[in-house]
Amino acid sequence: MAVMIGGIWRRVRLAQRVLLPLAVAILTLLAWEYGTRLAKISPLLIAPPSAVWSTLKESFPILLQQAMPTLTETVVGFLLAALLGVTLGTVLVLSRRVRQALYPHILLFQLIPKVALAPLFIVWLGIGPTSRLSFAVFLAFFPVVVATMAGLMSADRDILRLCTALTATRWQTFVSVRVPYAMPYLFAGLKISVTMAIIGVIVGEFVTAQEGLGYIIMFASSADDTALVFAAIAMLCAVGLSLYGLVALAEVLVQRRLGVSITSSEF
């Protein structure tokens, strides 16, 4: 009986996690649709969801084609930012002198408004994909650095002392203890990083690109086609949610694997 009740309760909680956000989304769309009609707001200012849906269906092949450059540059920028962020964060944790020398400067760059630096990337790297990719990496790597540092430094001190007592090498302690403890922090940083990579690519497309969803948004805005703007934003949201979901799936798979290894670890 207890097992049955527990299973029912888990299904109820799962349904709540799915149905509550869905209900909020439906209510928001209904309020948007009928609010614009009742207030007689011009579609040039705010297109109703019905008009956005019609435009999305009509322009879906074009939007899908234009989504591919945005997706490609986002993925490449995110992967480079993740590699750079994990490497730099690990070095900062393992070397106190490097941390003292570099971390204040990294923090200083983080405090600078990022969008204000976008024109400089264009001046330095031109109007091609290199400037957009570099700007996306610049935006996305800092969350990974901070998350990596926080995760590697969060390892249980008692377990670290036990590793020392068992004469484990520094590398063994790092791989068997610090890395598993760092995984939740790291993936939290990666989830932020993937959204920042999208922002970096879109900002670059606003300024320099002749293709991509950012270019479509700017083109539609100049033509007062608000429905197409919202349709492109909807496609962009779909791209972002897909990438975020892949990062979340990778987190589940990695944590399951590391959970087994932690249990069976000799440390």
* Cα dihedral: 216, 220, 226, 227 (round 10): -60
CA 88 to chain centroid, in Å, comes to 19
- Residues 198, 83: contact at Cβ < 8 Å? no
Considering only residues 64 and 127, tell me which one the structure prediction assigns the higher pLDDT. 64
The residue to which tokens 């020392």 are assigned: 164
Closest residue by Cα to residue 51 from 39, 62, 64, 42 = 42
Closest residue by Cα to residue 165 from 148, 179, 177, 180 = 177
Closest residue by Cα to residue 156 from 171, 177, 125 = 177
The pLDDT tens digits for 73-89 are: 999 999 999 999 999 99
Neighbours of 140 (CB within 10 A): 30
Rounded CA-CA distance 242/18 in Å is 17
Considering only residues 16 and 37, tell me which one the structure prediction assigns the higher pLDDT. 37
- Residues 200, 130: contact at Cβ < 8 Å? no
pTM recorded for the entire structure = 0.86
Q: What is the CATH number of domain 44-263?
A: 1.10.3720.10
The pLDDT tens digits for 182-209 are: 999 999 999 999 999 999 999 888 887 7
Considering only residues 168 and 204, tell me which one the structure prediction assigns the higher pLDDT. 204
**pLDDT, averaged across the chain:** 85
Instruction: Identify the helix (H) or strand (E) that includes residue 92.
Output: helix 49-94
